[in-house]
């Protein structure tokens, strides 16, 4: 296939202890380490491996967000992607609007495969990939832990609640990456230097002709309630009686 | 003035940090307890480092190195400093002094070192010549086109895994205004050269598994072609390149101090005594404040010295300041980190006691704190006749 499109979302690094801003308007990101959403990094790794096997000729990384998301796209380029597209918007996107932006990019780029992370670790929505497949009218294979391409089809092993499910899908399609699909590579030093010279195009969101979905407004963020201190019980009988006391049994 | 990292620098830092956490940390405990790095572990680290193009990142690009500038390389080594030196030594960083190789030496030493086919070590110190380097007793006597070497070197780091050693040897004496002065030359000596032995050194409390060795020369015959730079001009070669090792010590101290701090901070926030988190006691919280201030100061002092080198500005004093401050900072920070951990900090279940032991040598090797202060004060006083 000619091209694989990979979505990279800029999120708070998974090592960071997330804090709610004091005014409750969102999550603190000032001075906080930001990274590529780990599932998106796995998606990119898979795309690069497909390309290295000679089964695709170009990997394009795309992101939607503020201009600071360039940093994550540059990381993607340093990992080995060929070029990058950033759709610039300062507003928080809901999954449907994000899927519509990706659909517009699919129209423009005509990829043979779209690889996304199964979900982003910021809001954990797990919706964009599925919505994109629906908008595109193409097959989807979510929670992929193995992808084998075979000409116009792909055999995808999916991690589902009961175990592993193997499905065959026609390409083009949307595949979303689960944790065990692969282990992303280290960035190579020469590629870090080359990444700067690779093309990174910016498109303003307003120029995309994409209609925002029904607006979802985040009114207030609050940290989770501190868990109340537990009690120790001596035995099962004590546990049953404690649960009964609380009206839980 | 811009204190931020470029995207490229951030990627270098992130990649090396991730490498150290995934490839170095898992082996640390075993190395620390056995005092030994299994050969296959060392080779695997070196190979992975080659695979990602980070091997010899400090060496000139024209010879196949990574061609990193001083600041970029200092950032890289700062992250390496978080890991055990016994293991990070395999994250190949050949001695910068090898850039002085000329003619045949380029193919025999410089390029193999950059490719990782040959490992180098550097030998200056002797039992009777520590800070007083010119007091060295290891001498070479000219015999035709050869030099015949006799003497002993000790405290030679990682010579046990080296294929060749860069050795500083006295090749004569000259009269100066201030009396006799030894002339020093720098030789490239292959392991296995007749009359040359690499022997196990001492057991050090610092950097267990990162071995120091003793070198013995007994009528060891070296052709003139083994001289790096010009004969009798070894100190010129050293002075041009050896500042790098002081920056290495400084920045690795910063990295290690950050790792110690990264352990101490959450401990202060979670450990409870007298019914509250110990971080709520001013005695502990102020320690954390002092520690992070100390680390940041050393970090910026070191980075700015590296930046000066990149800009071609005089940096000898600044590097000495960075070395003395960062290594003394590391001693304070590791000590306080243990204090915050209490008794558990001394147990080898945690790496803090190791950082504390490892920190001790940093104030001694690559120029003691006293030598660094001498350099700093001399640079201040000399220009005004002091």
Which domains, from first to last, does chain B contain? 7-93 (1.10.540.10), 120-232 (2.40.110.10), 236-384 (1.20.140.10)
- The H or E element that residue B276 is part of is strand B276-277
Inter-chain residue contact A196 with B10, CB threshold 8 Å:
no
When pLDDT is cut at 50, 70 and 90, the band that residue A227 belongs to is confident
CA distance A139 to chain B (A): 35
Residues B90 and B83: their CA atoms lie apart, in Å, by 11
Tokens of B153: 């070197």
Rounded average pLDDT over A35-46: 97
Which residues neighbour B230 within 8 Å (Cβ) at sequence distance 6 or greater?
Answer: B236
Inter-chain residue contact B18 with A74, CB threshold 8 Å:
no
Tokens of B183: 């002339």
Secondary structure tally for chain A: helices H, strands E: 6, 11
When pLDDT is cut at 50, 70 and 90, the band that residue A229 belongs to is confident
Instruction: Name the maximum alpha-carbon separation found in chain B.
Output: 80
Instruction: Please check whether residue B79 is in contact with residue B17, taking contact to mean a CB–CB distance below 8 angstroms.
Output: yes
Question: What are φ and ψ of residue A63, in 5° steps?
Answer: -145, 155
Interface predicted TM-score (ipTM) of this complex, two decimals: 0.86
| pLDDT surpassing 80 at residue A216 | no
Inter-chain residue contact A186 with B15, CB threshold 8 Å:
yes
Task: Tell me, yes or no, if B65 comes closer than 8 A to chain A by beta carbon.
Answer: no
Contacts of A186 in chain B (CB under 8 A): 15, 18-19, 48, 52
Q: Measured between alpha carbons, how far apart are the two ends of chain A, in Å?
A: 58
Residues A5 and B57: their CA atoms lie apart, in Å, by 32
User: Lowest-confidence range among A164-178, A225-239, B63-77, B128-142?
Assistant: A225-239
B88: Cα within 13 Å, side-chain hemisphere: 23
Residues in A 70-129 with any Cβ partner in B closer than 8 A: 70-71, 74-75, 78
Q: DSSP letters along B292-341, please?
A: HHHHHHHHHHHHHHHHHHHTT---HHHHHHHHHHHHHHHHHHHHHHHHHH
Rounded average pLDDT over A191-205: 94
Which residues neighbour A133 within 8 Å (Cβ) at sequence distance 6 or greater?
Answer: A139, A140, A173, A174
Q: What is the pLDDT of residue B373?
A: 98
Nearest to B20 by CA among B84, B100, B104, B109: B84
Q: Helices in chain B by DSSP H: which ranges?
A: 7-19, 25-34, 39-51, 70-80, 85-88, 104-105, 111-115, 234-241, 243-270, 282-310, 316-341, 352-362, 369-381
Contacts of B51 in chain A (CB under 8 A): 188
Residues B248 and B244: their CA atoms lie apart, in Å, by 6
| pLDDT surpassing 90 at residue A1 | no
Inter-chain residue contact A190 with B66, CB threshold 8 Å:
yes
Instruction: Please check whether residue B330 is in contact with residue B253, taking contact to mean a CB–CB distance below 8 angstroms.
Output: yes
Nearest to B290 by CA among B252, B358, B339: B339
Domain ranges across chain A: 3-222
Which residues neighbour B239 within 8 Å (Cβ) at sequence distance 6 or greater?
Answer: none
| pLDDT surpassing 80 at residue A214 | no
Is domain A3-222 in CATH 3.30.450.20, yes or no? no
Q: What is the pLDDT of residue A218?
A: 83
Question: B231 burial class (0-12, 13-18, 19+ CB within 10 angstroms)?
Answer: middle
Task: Tell me, yes or no, if B147 comes closer than 8 A to chain A by beta carbon.
Answer: no
Q: How many CB atoms lie within 10 A of CB A15?
A: 8
Nearest to B14 by CA among A216, A34, A234: A34
What's the angle, vertex CA B139, arms to CA B133 and CA B144, rounded to 5? 140
Inter-chain residue contact A186 with B8, CB threshold 8 Å:
no
Nearest to B95 by CA among B199, B42, B165, B13: B165
Give the mean pLDDT per block of 10 residues along chain B (386 residues).
Answer: 91 96 97 95 97 96 95 98 98 95 96 97 94 91 96 96 97 90 95 97 95 97 96 88 90 98 97 96 98 98 97 95 98 98 95 97 96 96 92
Instruction: Please check whether residue B315 is in contact with residue B309, taking contact to mean a CB–CB distance below 8 angstroms.
Output: yes
C-alpha distance from residue A166 to each of A113, A157, B78 (Å): 18, 4, 45
Residues B70 and B246: their CA atoms lie apart, in Å, by 12
Mutation target to probe the A interface, by most A beta carbons within 10 A, among B14, B51, B259 is: B14
Task: Tell me, yes or no, if A188 comes closer than 8 A to chain B by beta carbon.
Answer: yes
pLDDT digits (tens, 9 = 90+) for A93-129: 889 999 999 999 999 999 999 999 999 999 899 999 9
Residues A205 and A231: their CA atoms lie apart, in Å, by 53
Residues B8 and A77: their CA atoms lie apart, in Å, by 11
Q: What is the pLDDT of residue A225?
A: 86
C-alpha distance from residue B150 to each of A98, A247, B141 (Å): 74, 88, 9
Q: What is the pLDDT of residue A156?
A: 97
Residues A43 and B94: their CA atoms lie apart, in Å, by 36
Task: Tell me, yes or no, if A140 comes closer than 8 A to chain B by beta carbon.
Answer: no
- The H or E element that residue A103 is part of is helix A95-109
Residue linked to tokens 């980075």: B303
């Amino acid at each position: 296939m000619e091209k694989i499109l990979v979505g990279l979302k800029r999120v708070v690094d998974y090592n960071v202890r997330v804090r709610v801003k004091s005014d409750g308007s969102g999550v603190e990101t000032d001075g906080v380490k930001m990274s590529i959403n780990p599932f998106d990094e796995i998606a990119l790794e898979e795309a690069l491996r497909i390309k290295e096997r000679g089964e695709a000729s170009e990997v394009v990384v795309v992101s939607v967000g503020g201009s600071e998301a360039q940093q994550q796209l540059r990381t993607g380029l340093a990992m080995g992607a060929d070029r990058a597209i950033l759709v610039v918007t300062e507003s928080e996107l809901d999954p449907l609007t994000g899927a519509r932006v990706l659909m517009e990019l699919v129209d423009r780029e005509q990829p043979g495969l779209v690889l996304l992370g199964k979900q982003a670790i910021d809001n954990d929505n797990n919706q964009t990939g599925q919505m994109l497949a629906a908008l595109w009218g193409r097959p989807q294979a979510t929670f992929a832990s193995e992808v084998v391409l075979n000409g116009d089809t792909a055999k995808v092993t999916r991690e589902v609640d009961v175990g592993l499910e193997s499905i065959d899908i026609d390409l083009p399609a949307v595949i979303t990456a689960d944790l065990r699909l692969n282990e992303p590579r280290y960035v190579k030093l020469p590629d870090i230097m080359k990444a700067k010279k690779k093309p990174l195009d910016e498109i303003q969101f307003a120029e995309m002709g994409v209609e925002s979905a029904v607006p979802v407004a985040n009114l207030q963020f609050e940290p989770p309630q501190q868990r109340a201190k537990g009690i120790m019980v001596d035995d099962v009988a004590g546990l049953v009686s404690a649960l009964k006391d609380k009206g839980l049994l | 003035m811009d204190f931020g990292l470029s995207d490229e620098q951030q990627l270098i830092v992130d990649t090396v940090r991730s490498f150290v956490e995934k490839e170095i940390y898992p082996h640390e405990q075993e190395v620390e307890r056995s005092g030994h790095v299994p050969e296959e572990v060392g080779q695997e680290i070196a190979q992975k480092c080659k695979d990602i193009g980070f091997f010899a990142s400090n060496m000139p690009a024209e010879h196949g190195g990574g061609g990193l500038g001083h600041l970029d390389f200092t950032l890289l080594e700062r992250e390496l400093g978080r890991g055990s030196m016994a293991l990070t030594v395999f994250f190949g960083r050949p001695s910068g002094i090898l850039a002085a190789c000329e003619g045949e030496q380029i193919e025999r030493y410089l390029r193999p070192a950059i490719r990782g086919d040959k490992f180098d070590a550097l030998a200056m110190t002797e039992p009777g010549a520590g800070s007083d380097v010119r007091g060295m007793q290891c001498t070479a006597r000219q015999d035709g086109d050869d030099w015949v070497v006799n003497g002993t070197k000790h405290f030679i780091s990682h010579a046990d895994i080296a294929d060749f050693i860069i050795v500083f040897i006295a090749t004569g004496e000259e009269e100066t205004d201030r009396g006799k002065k030894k002339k020093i030359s720098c030789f490239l000596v292959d392991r296995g050269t007749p009359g040359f032995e690499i022997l196990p050194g001492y057991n050090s409390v610092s950097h267990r598994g990162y071995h120091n060795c003793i070198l013995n020369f007994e009528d060891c015959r070296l052709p003139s072609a083994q001289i790096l730079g010009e004969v009798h001009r070894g100190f010129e070669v050293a002075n041009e390149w050896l500042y790098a090792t002081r920056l290495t010590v400084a920045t690795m101290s910063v990295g290690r101090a950050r790792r110690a701090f990264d352990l101490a901070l959450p401990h202060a926030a979670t450990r409870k005594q007298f019914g509250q988190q110990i971080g709520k006691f001013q005695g502990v919280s102020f320690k954390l404040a002092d520690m992070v201030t100390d680390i940041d100061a050393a970090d910026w002092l070191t980075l700015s010295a590296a930046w000066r080198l990149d800009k071609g500005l005089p940096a000898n004093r600044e590097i000495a300041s960075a070395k003395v401050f960062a290594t003394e900072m590391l001693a304070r920070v590791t000590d306080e980190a243990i204090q915050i951990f209490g008794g558990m900090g001394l147990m080898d279940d945690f790496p803090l006691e190791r950082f504390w032991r490892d920190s001790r040598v940093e104030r001694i090797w690559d120029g003691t704190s006293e030598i660094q202060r001498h350099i700093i004060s001399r640079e201040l006083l000399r220009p005004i006749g002091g």
